[in-house]
Amino acid sequence: MPLITRDTQEGQEFAGKIRTVTLERINFFSGGFPRGPNWPAKNIHTDLEVAQKCGLQTRAASGAMFEGYLTDLMIDIFGEDWLNYGTMSLTFIGIVDKDDTLIPKAVVKSRKLQSSEVEFTLDVWCENQNGNKVVVGTARGVFS
């Protein structure tokens, strides 16, 4: 059952499941395929030394991982139809490393009645265990 309804108003807030970014997940996501003797691939996502040689202080988990956390939240809010009719535009603004805990969040920015449907625009973001945003953006979805 979607969390959003026809009557959801601007300012309504939503939060998704808390996720801990493990090194195992980072490696599975960014370590390359197929798994073999040189797996995981050494890159800024999986290897601290490579990341530091590239000027980063730590590994940088792939932003697509936490884009997925926001997608899960949109599916919770709008239901599975969001996969067919929803959109999202994101900007990655912070580094996420292993053992960081992220929570995807959204707030209704606007609602527009269009014939029998209501189109919602939401501000979306993920924040880490310190309350710092690591990705920000906008999502749109329709409730019919």
In a domain, 130, yes or no: yes
* CATH number of residue 105's parent domain: 3.10.129.10
Model confidence pLDDT, tens digit, residues 28-37? 999 988 788 8
Q: How confident is the model at residue 1 (pLDDT cuts 50, 70, 90)?
A: low
The verdict on residue 78 lying in a domain is yes
Predicted pLDDT at 94:
95
For the segment 60-80, what is each residue's pLDDT rounded down to a tens digit? Answer: 999 999 999 999 999 999 999
As for how many domains the chain has, the answer is 1
- Report pTM: 0.91
Query: pLDDT confidence of 114, banded at 50, 70, 90?
Result: confident
Asked if residue 54 belongs to a domain, the reply is: no
95 in any annotated domain: yes
Element (DSSP H or E) covering residue 21: none
For residues 72 and 16, is the Cβ–Cβ distance under 8 A? yes
124 within domain boundaries: yes
Q: Show the domain range for 115.
A: 13-21+61-143
Please report whether residue 82 resides in a domain.
Answer: yes
Sign of CA dihedral 87, 90, 96, 100: negative
